[in-house]
Amino acid sequence: MMLALIVTLTVGVLLAPLTAGAQPGTKVPKVGILQVGTPAGSGHLSAAFKQGMRERGYVEGQSVVFDLRFGELRREQLSEAAAELVRMKVDVIVTSTDEGIAAVKQETQTIPIVMANSTDPVGTGFVASLAHPGGNITGNSGMSPELSGKRLELLKEIVPGLSRVAILWNPDIRVLDYNQTQDAARALRLHLQSVEVSRAGDIDRAFAAMTTGRAEALVVPPANPLAFSNRSGIVRLAKKNRLLSISGPSEYAEDGGLMAYGVNVVDQWRRAAMYVDRILKGARPGDLPIEQPSKFELVINLKTAKALGLTIPPSLVRRADRVVE
């Protein structure tokens, strides 16, 4: 009897460390993260998502594993990265922009997909409706058609006599952005110059076209990974050509653009963690309503305004959520 007791106690001591930590056999969820751009241009967005997961109690390497991939602004690489995450059998995939979502959707109709940001998830066919997405996709929408007009209004508030505005857009992915901006420009009696850019090598040529077209200002639609990843070069050329410029993401103004007005993309990536958390706890993505933005952020770069010889109306400065000086 004594020998049996000793053996039992010894086995118990040996097994104790195994049950004290992560239990053997417990499946640690794997979350795939697919970013369309480059690590330098958009790595801070996946960092914001991971922060959102930490805020919900997840510890990387212990209670969750992240597999991060970048499309590097190349369609073939983006498709391969999406396929690789699906082959890895991750539990959920987080991605952003219509290109990223489409790439993952092409590879799987079963693995849950969380959109950190989508311009128009219903119009693109990603979900059936905002309230009842159905299928395997849910997440955040950045859709707000009135923003295109608001950006033009902000430019005119600084220069009331503004008449010629260029729009730097990618016709391969965002016809909606152009159409909305064109409608808004027509209502404001502005001439809109279409400048198409589908690869980084087109940017210098695009600014030469703006000069030829006598553009006075520049609108950069927000849902454009190419422009976002190359924003430093774009704002540099905008200042060099003395163009008032505005985009959606706050990073644009922080990096030297005159203004930014739109949803906070970093916050949307952080909020994507809420969807992932609920899915990992058993919720079906098709049952989770799409969240639309309720707050828009205005950022003004006064340093750039000074370099362009502009005086920003004090009333506009007071309305800004943030000012870069």
Q: What Cα–Cα distance (Å) separates residue 163 from each residue in 76, 104, 156, 160, 247? A: 40, 41, 9, 9, 18
Please report the pLDDT score of residue 173 as a whole number. 67
Q: What Cα–Cα distance (Å) separates residue 132 from each residue in 112, 122, 129, 136, 276? A: 15, 11, 5, 11, 17
> Cα(296)–Cα(292) distance, rounded to whole angstroms?
11
Burial class (CB in 10 A: 0-12, 13-18, 19+), 21: exposed
Q: Domains, the chain, ranges and CATH?
A: 30-143+265-287 (3.40.50.2300), 146-262+297-324 (3.40.50.2300)
Q: What is the mean pLDDT of each run of 10 residues along the chain (325 residues)?
A: 40 38 70 94 94 98 97 93 98 94 97 93 91 97 79 96 94 73 93 92 95 96 85 95 94 95 92 98 97 90 96 96 95
CB 118 within 8 A of CB 124: yes
CB 258 within 8 A of CB 305: yes
Q: What is the pTM of this model?
A: 0.82
